[in-house]
Structure 1
Amino acid sequence: MYGIIAIFTLAIVCSFLFAIILRFTSLQESSVQYVITAISFIALFTGGFISGGKGKQKGWLLGGLTGLIYAIIIFLFQYLGFDKLFNGEQLVYFICYILIAMMGGILGVNMSSKGRS
């Protein structure tokens, strides 16, 4: 749960910052699309890292579950709020989200175990 909270906290803060930047500059949303995607990946890695660090074992599973829960929440928001289903591109993104959160979970477990030694 800590990982999900961290992901959404980072996402809300970054969304707020980008909203301010887009509002008060001449930048268009399409010009910062890749930066926003990179920040999403960093947030998911961080969430997986926190989940793995708190769990102290099976980081791949904890990180994967963190990424999966995030993907389900985003899918439900998209489906219920905007009445849209997955397309192929989004499926690739969501698989990458889960894999990146898994990598964060693995690193989180390994970093927490080094601290105990």
Structure 2
Amino acid sequence: MNPLSRLLGFRMASPVASGLYWSAIWLAIGAIIISILLMGSSISEAELLPWVFGVHGFSSLAGGFVSARRSGRRGWYFGAANGLFYTLLILIISFLAADAAWTVTVPILLAVTCFAGAFGGMLGVNTGSRGK
């Protein structure tokens, strides 16, 4: 058992749920880094779109990695599913919190997160302990 399971007394049964959990952790870290970058440099908010896509892509890659590692099979499938659910959660939260509109960046975000999650899943399935 990992330390989190021992501390909190539960274990996530779904590989995608655990991948989304780790995606959220990396998203929080990325948001802090972007905030520090925005505060400490002359970059304006209008120039942050590539950085935001990078953070979302890396978060999805990390979540896909964890998801596929936990499943032990079909890495690209679990990684892409993690990217899809990650994007849906981000869209729901952004719509409810800030009334964000559906723009051309939504399909781009979906493509970035699904491909990054699938790539992370391909990497993660090969590092798992199952089948060894």
- Give the TM-score normalised by structure 2: 0.74
The equivalent of 2:47 in structure 1 is: 31
Q: Encode CA deviations 1:40-85: one digit per residue, 9 max, x unaligned.
A: 2122111101110111012122112211111111111122222234
Whether 1:71 aligns to 2:87 is yes
The equivalent of 1:87 in structure 2 is: 103
Cα distance in 2 for partners of 1:83, 1:31 equals: 21
Instruction: Give the one of 63, 73, 94 matched to 1:47.
Output: 63
Q: What is the SS of the residue equivalent to 2:102?
A: coil
Cα distance in 2 for partners of 1:25, 1:105 equals: 34
Larger helix proportion of the pair = 1
Instruction: Give the one of 106, 121, 126 matched to 1:105.
Output: 121
Deviation at 1:4, TM superposition (A): 1.0
Higher relative contact order (CA 8 A, sep 6+): 1
Letter of the structure 2 residue corresponding to residue 24 of structure 1 = G
Q: What is the SS of the residue equivalent to 1:111?
A: coil
Instruction: Give the one of 27, 42, 64 matched to 1:11.
Output: 27
Deviation at 1:116, TM superposition (A): 5.1
Q: Encode CA deviations 1:13-63: one digit per residue, 9 max, x unaligned.
A: 121122123223332223343233223212211110111011101212211
Cα distance in 1 for partners of 2:117, 2:108 equals: 14
The equivalent of 1:21 in structure 2 is: 37
- Give the TM-score normalised by structure 1: 0.82
Question: Which 5+ residue runs of structure 1 have no aligned equivalent?
Answer: none
